[in-house]
Chains A and B, each alone.
Chain A
Amino acid sequence: MNQLVNIDNLSVSYGAKTAVNNVSFALPTGRIIGLLGSNGAGKTSLMQAMMGLIPFRGQINILGFDPRTQRDAMLQHVCYIPDVAILPPWIEVQQLLQLMSGLHPKFDRELALQKLARTTIKLDSKVKQLSRGMIVQLHLAIISAIDAQLMILDEPTLGLDIPARKAFYDMLISDWCNETRTVLIATHQIDEIENLLSDVMMINDGALVLHDQLCNLEDRYIGLRYGSEHSAAIATAAPLHCFRQMGGECAIFAAPFPSELAQFGQTFRVELADLFVALSQGERHATV
């Protein structure tokens, strides 16, 4: 398989605290990968290490480049919006495009103009005059006009209202993604983004607790809604996680599923948000 990213035994520490703990994974082309984790789980550190912004142990290979020693060459093929991305407040949109044309050899100014034409952003507006949603749209218009192969987005929809988030997802799917490009996107908006994803990675306490294609998850996890009279039987069947939803008892089981599940109630496909809670709060689960 064609891998864009190969990471082996990556660890990131801040003094005595380990933010990313011995993580290994590969990312192929043509995927939209959701990186899920609680605050402080290590998502941002992982992304920063991939961009060569912080010291790390282990190996990172992005499109054949080592972010420690070949960062400039790597950045021609990678775009990144950090969660704290800040554009200078005094700059006009058109000046920013001019700046980008000079800074990035793969920046297509015409393409950025086309994308901006579909928004309400004016070229002579200064960044400080734009709303939060417009700033994210501007960011995305700029980076999606870079002919890169890997896009890394840290909480891109934070603080956006629903229409702006929808516009963001639309732009990602219809303008940027294709079979040769991959997006890694860290977010807390799990339920919104779930169906856009091809793959999911869950990180908890610096460790990768899940990394799989979404279409494989049905074979690995199943939900069961059951009547409370079956509680004792469910407990002995060793569920991964139990929760209440809409007045009913639910349990999540990991494969191999107990065979008698269906007689206790209705099985269902587990949503990522519930799986996330199960894997980050339940017992540590060593199946990556």
Chain B
Amino acid sequence: MADWNNQAPIYLQLADRLSQALLDGAPPEGEAMPSVRVLAAEYGLNPLTVNRALQSMVDAGLLESRRGLGMFVLPQASERLRAFERERFLNTEWPALAAKLQRLGITPADLIWPTKDDAA
């Protein structure tokens, strides 16, 4: 069973995990999400919690509910997710990181920017 922290509601943590999986193309855009029952058993969660997580992803424009068929990944899901993540990084993570860099006296010249080859 999955580990959950006690800082955020479980449904948001599940939505977060499912969103990370979408960024990795699982499932790909346009494809169906696993059913509530499958997700509930896989993550050891109550189906109502899973429903709530999926609903929050619908509200975020990542999934759509098709009557009688279940949830599907919307075409621009990963684009939207990347936009959210960028915003989150620039607004919350970067200011903290920048402050730390300044405290440590690290300048842009000290940083090694990964090239395409390193990332691969």
A174 to B40, CA, bound (A): 8
Q: Is the interface of B mostly helix, strand, loop or mixed?
A: helix
- Contacting pair B6 A196 (CB below 8 A): no
Q: Which residues of B contact A195 (CB under 8 A)?
A: 1, 4, 10, 43-46, 49
- Contacting pair B37 A173 (CB below 8 A): yes
Q: Which residues of chain A in 29-78 are interfacial with respect to chain B, using CB atoms and an 8 Å cutoff?
A: 30, 32
Closest A residue to B43 by CB, please name it: A195
Closest A residue to B50 by CB, please name it: A173
Q: Which residues of A contact B4 (CB under 8 A)?
A: 195
Report the minimal beta-carbon distance from A253 to chain B, rounded to whole angstroms. Answer: 15
A166 to B43, CA, bound (A): 11
Is B7 an interface residue when CB atoms closer than 8 A count as contact? yes
Q: Which residues of chain A in 192-235 are interfacial with respect to chain B, using CB atoms and an 8 Å cutoff?
A: 192, 195-198, 214-215, 218, 223
- Contacting pair A269 B44 (CB below 8 A): no
Closest A residue to B2 by CB, please name it: A195
- Contacting pair A223 B6 (CB below 8 A): yes
Is A170 an interface residue when CB atoms closer than 8 A count as contact? yes
- Contacting pair A173 B41 (CB below 8 A): yes
- Contacting pair A196 B46 (CB below 8 A): yes
Is A169 an interface residue when CB atoms closer than 8 A count as contact? yes
- Contacting pair A166 B6 (CB below 8 A): no
How would residues 33 to 47 of chain B score, 1 for a CB under 8 Å from any chain A CB and 0 otherwise? 000011011011111
A200 to B97, CA, bound (A): 42
A173 to B11, CA, bound (A): 17
Q: Which residues of chain A in 144-202 are interfacial with respect to chain B, using CB atoms and an 8 Å cutoff?
A: 166, 169-170, 173-174, 177, 192, 195-198
Q: Which residues of chain B in 7-47 are interfacial with respect to chain A, using CB atoms and an 8 Å cutoff?
A: 7-11, 37-38, 40-41, 43-47
Is A268 an interface residue when CB atoms closer than 8 A count as contact? yes
Closest A residue to B38 by CB, please name it: A174
Residue in A177, A215, A271 whose CB lies within 8 Å of B47: A177
Q: Which residues of chain B in 40-72 are interfacial with respect to chain A, using CB atoms and an 8 Å cutoff?
A: 40-41, 43-49, 52
Q: Which residues of B contact A269 (CB under 8 A)?
A: 6-9
Report the minimal beta-carbon distance from A218 to chain B, rounded to whole angstroms. Answer: 7
Report the minimal beta-carbon distance from B4 to chain A, rounded to whole angstroms. Answer: 7
A32 to B43, CA, bound (A): 16
A169 to B41, CA, bound (A): 8
Residue in A30, A166, A198, A271 whose CB lies within 8 Å of B1: A166
Residue in A32, A174, A192, A214 whose CB lies within 8 Å of B41: A174
Q: Which residues of B contact A174 (CB under 8 A)?
A: 37-38, 40-41
Closest B residue to A193 by CB, please name it: B44
How would residues 245 to 271 of chain A score, 1 for a CB under 8 Å from any chain B CB and 0 otherwise? 000000000000000000000001111
Q: Which residues of A contact B7 (CB under 8 A)?
A: 268-269
Report the minimal beta-carbon distance from B54 to chain A, rounded to whole angstroms. Answer: 15
- Contacting pair A32 B46 (CB below 8 A): yes
- Contacting pair B6 A268 (CB below 8 A): yes
Report the minimal beta-carbon distance from B15 to chain A, rounded to whole angstroms. Answer: 14
25 CB contacts below 8 A, A to B, read A30-B48, A169-B44, A170-B41, A173-B37, A173-B40, A173-B41, A173-B44, A174-B38, A192-B1, A195-B43, A195-B44, A195-B45, A195-B49, A196-B46, A198-B46, A198-B49, A214-B46, A214-B49, A215-B11, A215-B48, A215-B52, A268-B6, A268-B7, A270-B6, A271-B6
Other than A198-B46, A270-B6, give 11 A-B pairs with Cβ distance below 8 A.
A32-B46, A170-B41, A173-B37, A173-B41, A173-B44, A192-B1, A195-B1, A196-B46, A215-B11, A215-B48, A223-B6
* Nearest 7 A/B pairs, CB to CB: A174-B41, A268-B6, A269-B6, A173-B41, A198-B46, A198-B48, A195-B45
